[in-house]
């Protein structure tokens, strides 16, 4: 069985809500730097996605832009991943994320999901096998949670993908 890797990324720091609708909030300068740092960390960890599922909100698209630039700088010869901008990652919750993962083709080995809290943290906690001793903390902005399992994506279900590492990217 092929090992599947899931990387959950909470978008980088966004501007505080103001006159713009929430969907249109932009990253701050710190957010831009943190998104770049997230991409650099993924490159250093050799976690290059084959598929990116990204919320269609502006701040998540900008987070992906920063991550993708850093990944490309780390390995200019690498193939760019397929990217899907998903409204369900903005409007939905953990059920929608699990449904999106179950639909991923088995030829895909690494998926990067860029979304919002509390959903990204909820999905990370939901996927972990039960451990009474585990520290269950919420992902901070530009926080990453890496999960792995030897099962097809269609078999994604609660408690099915152990957490390998968590990291908070700071630029």
pLDDT by position in tens, the chain (length 171): 689 999 999 999 999 888 889 999 999 999 999 999 999 999 999 999 999 999 999 999 999 999 999 999 999 999 999 999 999 999 999 999 999 999 999 999 999 999 999 999 999 999 998 775 666 788 999 999 999 999 999 999 999 999 999 999 998
pTM of the complete model: 0.96
Structural domains in the chain, CATH included, are: 4-15+22-168 (3.40.50.1240)
d(CA 34, CA 12) in angstroms, rounded, equals: 6
Give the integer Cα–Cα distance in Å for 75 and 60: 22
The residue among 162, 149, 126, 160 whose CA lies nearest residue 5 is 149
In Å, how far are 36, 109, 140 from 116, measured between CA atoms? 18, 23, 10
pLDDT at 34: 98
How far, in Å, CA of 135 to CA of 7, rounded?
19
Hey, is 131 helix, strand or coil?
Answer: coil
- Predicted confidence at residue 22, as pLDDT, reads 93
What is the DSSP annotation of 41-95?
A: HHHHTT---SEEEEESSHHHHHHHHHHHHHHHHH-TTSPPPEEEEETHHHH--HH
Count CB neighbours of 135 within 10 A: 6
Cα–Cα distance between 99 and 137 in angstroms, integer? 23
DSSP state of 19: S
* Alpha carbons 73 and 37: distance in angstroms, whole number: 12
What does the pLDDT read at residue 134?
A: 66
């Amino acid at each position: 069985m092929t090992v599947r890797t899931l990387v959950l990324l909470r978008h980088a720091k966004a501007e505080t809500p103001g006159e713009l609708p929430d969907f249109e909030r932009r990253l701050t300068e710190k957010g831009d730097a943190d998104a770049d740092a997230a991409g650099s960390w993924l490159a250093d960890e050799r976690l290059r996605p084959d598929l990116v599922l990204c919320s269609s909100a502006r701040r998540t698209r900008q987070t992906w832009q920063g991550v993708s630039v850093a990944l490309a700088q780390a390995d200019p010869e690498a193939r760019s991943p397929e990217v899907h901008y998903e409204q369900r990652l903005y409007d939905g919750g953990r059920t929608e994320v699990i449904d999106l993962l179950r639909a991923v083709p088995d030829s895909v080995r690494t998926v990067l999901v860029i979304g919002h809290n509390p959903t990204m943290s909820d999905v990370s906690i939901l996927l972990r096998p039960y451990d009474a001793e585990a520290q269950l903390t919420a992902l901070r902005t530009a926080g990453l949670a890496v999960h792995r399992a030897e099962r097809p994506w269609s078999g994604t279900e609660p408690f099915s993908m152990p957490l390998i590492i968590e990291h908070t990217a700071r630029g």
